[in-house]
Structure 1
């Protein structure tokens, strides 16, 4: 409000001055102190001066109004830029904006976590050195737009991204400059899944090819050199039966794993007695364990009975773990099956511990992988398919649990997992 008041006050002063001059000239002319022509000339000059001042003042007022409009637009643009930057900063995928001199003008939080907190202001080529990225960025900054495809970027931590480079106009006018947007789409999990699928097919094919090759070889022998050898027939047919049974077990495990994965996200809601399942599994494995002098001992916790679980699947978990313990524990030792309530009282913790040779630490993290074996020859000799612990893992994932494996060489191995207790039926501790 002060500037318009000052302008109005200045206008009054100038007009008063001009009016005083005109009045003085008129008075001087009336008393014959100046001629009419002189008075008219001086008055015209004063009027022209006043008109010039008025035009100047109006131009200043118009320029002030334009400046105010520009400032308002600038503030709105700044607010929108800040809002846009805040929105981009929350994107889960890394994103960067590159200015005309290849400097990183903006990087969201994900990009800073990926490439470093101090990347803004640095040259983008320092972080993405691939030749196709450099060529794509050069073409975009030159205004040559096109389909540059997807650039694969892999970090030192084995994280893989598909990088896309696209042009972005920095302003409404072309002369405002051209910038590029670099977007990272993480494909680590996709590549791992694809690699796991390829490994699975290769491993399954290998596991099936080995017994099939043996069976075909024996058939060829029986039809050829050993066609009349009854002892060879008896021996080879026994081996063929063993290999065929191994293939049947492998196919059964593959089908079982497939069915379990189909119900991966369907949490069980049935209530079952965990003690009955454990006793039933022990009775099933007891005969195999007795052949090696292994004793199965169940240490039942008081007040632990009902759990939320799929009884068939948990029985499969118990049979797999108990069978492994009976096969791989040292002869004449004891396998302990133990249940207890967790501290929260919401879960039952079940542990199966053997007194065996133990497993080296570098193998523990991979035991639940499909077809992974610590001792391949021994596992095949024992009739294992390499899928038992993978099946256990996926069943427990469906039950919202994980398989915890602890082992020490020369001491033994312990497998444990937990199952939820129905909360409408509180258990006594």
Structure 2
């Protein structure tokens, strides 16, 4: 017997994939179910739609319940299967996607593990050197000074990691509220280049500017945009200037409804396989080189979060041996 139009309309109104099953036969499937499992589900054996063993056994038994399974609509996808018996003798099968939740939980676990690892290394150094300094007996002055310098350097490193973690937390807390202040991006770029001057000089690196003639005004958070520029310039100078004569080009240009900010270097560049992961927290192309350069592995993650909060676009282009170009587009006022 055909199902009433109202029943079909209610089924289609559900956001999650849903099917109505009667005696192993799929009587109806909403749009979400057809998109997930295929178009030809209706009037077919339910085994054509659901092949995951645990879910299939529960559906064929007709019993109510809810449980999570993997393997429906993709090997890595996770769904909560909700089975509800209806008075009409039909079994309502709903598939609630839990993949995003599980991915978020995994990301949180990975983040805590990475943060613990990053802090453990400098902390172990501080404890080791301080324990030696606290022992009885004289230490030669050069050795004592070297131990003190190492303690200070590692404590500074821990403070930098904690500062960056706090920055990420603050940015994420504000990510749903778009900034409303008007910020002159071209003026802010000039300030950032001056601030990066000492670092550039220490690396024998020249920072060049190419700014638009007209004022480049965006809606933004002044402190966050300043941090974004500091991170981009710091990365470009540390990893993009190869010896004497190295240079970094910073440009700001009109791009229609956007203001385009580009930071370009001619350093070693990055392999294509690393590009998709550069904005992950604590991800490093070369861990040793990053630590030697003073990096925490959080710089580009912070940049990505700031761009997201500003409703902007981030694009990183790089080729090994040719350098890296980071472009950020922010909505203009």
The answer to whether TM tops 0.5 is yes
**Comparing 367-376 with 117-126, which one deviates more in the overlay?**
117-126
Deviation at 1:271, TM superposition (A): 1.1
Match of 1:236 among 140, 147, 154: 147
Higher relative contact order structure (alpha carbons within 8 Å, sequence separation ≥ 6): 2
In 2: Cα distance, 1:407 partner to 1:290 partner: 24
In 1: Cα distance, 2:142 partner to 2:227 partner: 39
**1:207-265 Cα shifts (integer Å, max 9, x gaps):** 11111111112222333487533332211111111100000000111111111111111
In 2: Cα distance, 1:92 partner to 1:149 partner: 18
Match of 2:38 among 88, 95, 116: 116
In 1: Cα distance, 2:235 partner to 2:55 partner: 52
Query: Is 1:192 aligned to residue 115 of structure 2?
Result: no
Match of 1:340 among 253, 257, 260: 253
In 1: Cα distance, 2:164 partner to 2:104 partner: 20
Instruction: State the match for 2:260 in structure 1.
Output: 349
Query: Is 1:158 aligned to residue 76 of structure 2?
Result: yes
Unaligned runs of 5+ residues in structure 1 are: 1-73, 171-177, 423-429
Provide closer, same or farther for how the CA distance between residues 284 and 126 of structure 1 changes in structure 2, counting only shifts above 3 A. Answer: same
Aligned length: 330
Aligned Cα root-mean-square deviation (Å): 2.0
Name the SS for the 1:361 alignment partner. coil
Name the SS for the 2:69 alignment partner. strand
**Comparing 313-322 with 264-273, which one deviates more in the overlay?**
264-273
Instruction: Write out aligned runs for 1:250-399 (5 A).
Output: 250-329=161-240, 330-331=242-243, 332-342=245-255, 344=256, 346-399=257-310
Provide closer, same or farther for how the CA distance between residues 93 and 406 of structure 1 changes in structure 2, counting only shifts above 3 A. Answer: same
4+ runs of 1 displaced by more than 4 Å?
224-227
The structure that has the greater radius of gyration is 1
More helix as a share of residues = 1
Name the SS for the 2:55 alignment partner. helix
In 2: Cα distance, 1:386 partner to 1:368 partner: 9
**1:390-418 Cα shifts (integer Å, max 9, x gaps):** 11111111111122101111111001112
Instruction: State the match for 1:133 in structure 2.
Output: 55
Contact 2:19 2:27 in 1 (8 A): yes
More strand as a share of residues = 2
In 1: Cα distance, 2:56 partner to 2:318 partner: 50
